[in-house]
Amino acid sequence: MRKFLIAGLFVALLLAGVASSFASGSPDGLDYAAREGCTFDADDQITGGTCMLQREQDHQLADSPLADYGIQGIDNEMLSTGLSGVAGVLLTFAIGGGLFWMIRRRKPVV
């Protein structure tokens, strides 16, 4: 079981660190739907129409170190994206592993 978990973690880290750098920068489904009904100029600024994107606001964590699929302070975009993916995998693995460890350690209720 330990080898399986280590191999899974390795594959997840590899995908997060390397493959995430090649993700498309094109709008996904939600972004596409939010842009429907507006017109944009060459700088991708809204010039007219009515769409959900006009009410867009930054979320409360927009200035956090891991905001926007990258790490603040790292100028290389591919490195920043890869490291943030690795950090996300490690954080998720730590939280999930900790929860499973706590649940497994509980004494059964009789």
Mean pLDDT of the chain: 88
Total count of domains within the chain: 1
Q: Which range, 16-30, 61-75, 82-96, is most confident?
A: 82-96
pLDDT at site 94: 95
Read off the pLDDT of residues 40-59 as tens digits, 9 standing for 90 and up: 999 988 999 999 989 888 88
Position 30 confidence tier, pLDDT thresholds 50, 70, 90: confident
Q: How many CA atoms lie within 13 A of 94 on its CB side?
A: 6
Whether 29 maps to a domain, the answer reads yes
Whether 110 maps to a domain, the answer reads no
**Structural domain range at position 35:** 2-105
Whether 12 maps to a domain, the answer reads yes
pLDDT at 109 over 90: no
Position 9 confidence tier, pLDDT thresholds 50, 70, 90: very high
Burial of residue 81 (number of CB atoms within 10 Å: 0-12, 13-18, 19+): buried
pLDDT at 26 over 80: no
Whether 8 maps to a domain, the answer reads yes
3-class DSSP string for the chain: CHHHHHHHHHHHHHHHHCHHHHCCCCCCHHHHHHHCCEEECCCCCEEEECCHHHHCCCCCCCCCCCHHHCCCCCCCHHHHHHHHHHHHHHHHHHHHHHHHHHHHHCCCCC
